[in-house]
């Protein structure tokens, strides 16, 4: 996509996002236009007041009162209509933000759970929080402020033309200087902003890489070298930014001086004196024109901020749109109900985005009430296969059935009433521990939550906390990995699904916590159809079926003893396991 097409698409996306509030924004702009036009009225009243006070003979008190009243009316109208305009656009902004966040949440709720494996929570939060907020200035402020910034100088310039065309031209004499300088400074803004964004991304990456690896870095004494990538990224960003900005600073200072009030006032008074000396205008007209001239250039600054707000909003709109248009799992028009708890994979193949196949023609049956273990080397496709049973993704070919029904023919609610899972990457939501466990069954009572925690061997740990089950995750609570895992097991116990997928639940646990987690898992798997991904082969020797995957294909299946006797791929994995455990 060319930069021009990218800009056009960003504008089109932003236009679509703002469609629900476009009418209210236009109402706000109309109100602001009236208020901005009224801002010129006090200057007109001031000119008339000056004429009255400087006129020969007695002062006409009625004219003075009339001029003062007109000025007050103008000021009041400006404030009233300006406030009304901002109220309309702020209410529009609040409604738009609420609507967009609801749409984002609804879309994420229908997204394949596997999508979250490749998209960080930070990017989702940025779209739902920061990017939606980035539309605030454009909706609530930029439109009405831009209208006001244009209306005031147009009305003022029109008044000066009516007063005297020479005074009107003198009032805008310095604006072309600023406009020309600004145009020169912005000539390569797009490419420079892209380079700056890339530099910021590089700095952020280096920070994340350092923080994630800080334990290893300190352990092996490589702190100095570990800082190198960050230092190079930060230095490069600073150098590029400085090279871009430094040449513009002097020009910007000179251009800003050209439209500064003292310079504008000096030019208009100086020119006005010359006009008066030639008898073209009256002194009071010069004074009025000079005051009006000082407010004319203010629109340039407002337009600059408005353009920046629009660019930021367009970039934010693209990120929001990427979430609002992410693929969703289709829901069946006529959902079915599974009959029984057998799980079957029938000639299943899977690939991400049509790339290399991760799974290739896998067929496997999990009999009700049995435990089936998936084993194989890293990258064999174990987690991918398990994710198809839970419908984190849909198969590329073949089908996965639960109770004889293709999972694509089950409603999402029905699927997760029958299939539960405990993942190695435990996710606890912000809320009380009670609510985290109750996610498995929101209507469950406190006694049922407590029973699930006891079965998961985490009840005593929760009671040891100051607030017990009311302890809020994320507010100073420090649970170990094993404790968090047992919370997720309690959640699965409470859900009480007949089919269960365990994805290396003890993969990163130390021997002590691993034993505790195994004790917690024991009541969880009893009587259920269980598919477990094995990290340590010693934990699945009693499995009813061990399925061996290699390069995405099912190469062996059977019991532990039968596979050892076959002296195949599993036997070699077992031999390696025994050597490393010795």
Pairwise CA distance, residues 167 & 165, whole Å: 5
pLDDT in tens, 544-568: 899 999 988 999 999 999 999 998 8
Over 193-249, what HEC string results? Answer: HHHHHHHHHHHHHHHHHHHHCHHHHHHCCCHHHHCHHHHHHHHHHHHHHHHHHHHHH
The half-sphere exposure of 448 on its side-chain side, counting CA atoms within 13 A, is 16
Of the candidates 104, 95, 96, 98, which has an alpha carbon nearest to the alpha carbon of residue 128? 104
Question: Which one is the CATH code of 343-581: 3.40.50.300, 3.90.1580.10, 3.30.70.890, 3.30.465.10?
Answer: 3.40.50.300
Q: Which helix (H) or strand (E) holds 343?
A: strand 343-351
Pairwise CA distance, residues 563 & 554, whole Å: 13
SS3 526: coil
Let me know: does 18 contact 99? Beta carbons within 8 Å.
no
Structure-token pair, residue 368:
């009700």
* DSSP of 458-492: -HHHHHTSTTGGGPBTTSS----HHHHHHHHHHHH
* DSSP of 20-86: GGHHHHHHHHHHHHHHHHHTTHHHHHHHHHHHHHHSSSS--HHHHHHHHHHHHHHHHHHHHHHHHHH
Domain ranges of the chain: 10-169+314-324, 343-581
What is the structure's pLDDT at 104?
83
Pairwise CA distance, residues 503 & 386, whole Å: 8
Alpha helices in 278-418 (DSSP H): 283-295, 298-324, 382-389, 412-418
DSSP label of 19: G
pLDDT in tens, 172-198: 777 777 777 766 766 666 666 666 666
What is the structure's pLDDT at 12?
85
Write out residues in the chain with pLDDT < 50, as ranges.
1, 3, 219-221, 506-512
What is the structure's pLDDT at 510?
44
Stated length of the chain: 582
Pairwise CA distance, residues 164 & 354, whole Å: 72
- pTM, to two decimals: 0.62
What is the structure's pLDDT at 524?
61
What is the structure's pLDDT at 452?
85
Let me know: does 126 contact 319? Beta carbons within 8 Å.
yes
Pairwise CA distance, residues 145 & 462, whole Å: 54
The CATH classification number of 10-169+314-324 equals 1.20.1560.10
What is the structure's pLDDT at 507?
47
């Amino acid at each position: 996509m060319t930069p021009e097409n990218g800009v056009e698409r960003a504008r089109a996306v932003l236009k679509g996002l703002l469609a629900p509030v476009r009418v209210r924004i236009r109402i706000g702009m109309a109100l602001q236009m009236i208020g901005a036009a009224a801002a010129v009225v006090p200057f007109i009243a001031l000119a008339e007041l000056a004429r009255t006070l400087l006129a020969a003979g007695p002062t006409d008190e009625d004219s003075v009162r009339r001029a003062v009243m007109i000025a007050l009316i103008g000021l009041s109208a400006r404030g009233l209509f300006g406030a009304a305009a901002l109220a309309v656009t702020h209410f529009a902004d609040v409604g738009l933000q609420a609507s967009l966040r609801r749409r984002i949440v609804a879309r994420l709720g229908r997204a394949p759970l596997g999508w979250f494996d490749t998209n960080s929570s930070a990017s989702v939060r940025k779209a739902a929080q920061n990017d939606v907020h980035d539309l605030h200035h454009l909706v609530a402020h930029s439109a009405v402020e831009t209208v006001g910034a244009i209306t005031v100088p147009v009305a003022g310039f029109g008044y000066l033309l009516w007063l005297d065309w020479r005074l009107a031209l003198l009032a805008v004499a310095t604006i072309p200087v600023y406009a020309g300088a600004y145009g020169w400074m912005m000539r390569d803004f797009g490419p420079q902003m892209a380079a700056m964004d890339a530099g910021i991304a590089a700095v952020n990456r280096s920070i994340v890489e350092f923080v994630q690896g800080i334990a290893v870095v300190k352990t092996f004494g490589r702190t100095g070298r570990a800082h190198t990538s960050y230092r190079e990224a930060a230095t490069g960003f600073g150098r590029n930014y400085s090279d871009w900005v430094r040449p513009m600073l002097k020009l910007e200072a000179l251009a800003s001086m050209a439209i500064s009030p003292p310079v504008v006032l000096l030019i208009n008074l100086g020119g006005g004196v010359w006009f008066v000396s030639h008898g073209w205008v009256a002194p009071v007209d010069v004074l009025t024109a000079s005051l009006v001239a000082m407010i004319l250039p203010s629109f340039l600054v407002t337009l600059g901020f408005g353009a920046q707000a629009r660019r930021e909003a367009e970039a934010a709109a693209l990120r929001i749109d990427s979430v609002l248009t992410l693929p969703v799992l289709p829901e069946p028009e006529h959902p079915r109900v599974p009959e029984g708890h057998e799980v079957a994979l029938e000639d299943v193949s899977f690939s991400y985005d049509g790339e290399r196949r991760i799974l290739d023609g896998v067929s496997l049956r999990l009999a009700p009430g049995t435990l089936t273990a998936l084993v194989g080397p890293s990258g064999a496709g174990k987690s991918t296969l398990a994710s198809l049973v839970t419908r984190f993704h849909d198969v590329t070919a073949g089908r996965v059935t639960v109770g004889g029904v293709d999972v694509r023919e089950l409603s999402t609610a029905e699927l997760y009433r029958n299939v539960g899972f405990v993942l190695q990457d435990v996710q606890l939501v912000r809320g009380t521990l009670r609510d985290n466990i109750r996610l498995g069954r929101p209507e469950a009572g406190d006694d049922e939550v407590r029973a699930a925690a006891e079965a998961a061997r985490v009840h005593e740990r929760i009671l040891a906390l100051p607030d017990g089950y009311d302890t809020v995750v994320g507010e100073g609570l420090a649970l170990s990995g094993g404790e968090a895992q047992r919370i997720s097991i309690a959640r699965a116990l409470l859900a009480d699904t007949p089919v269960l997928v365990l994805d290396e639940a003890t993969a990163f646990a130390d021997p002590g916590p691993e034993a505790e987690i195994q004790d917690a898992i024991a009541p969880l798997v009893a009587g259920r159809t269980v598919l477990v991904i094995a990290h340590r082969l010693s934990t699945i020797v009693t499995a009813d079926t061990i399925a061996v995957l290699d390069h995405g294909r099912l190469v062996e299946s059977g019991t532990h003893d039968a596979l050892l006797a076959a002296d195949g791929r599993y036997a070699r994995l077992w031999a390696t396991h025994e050597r490393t455990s010795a």
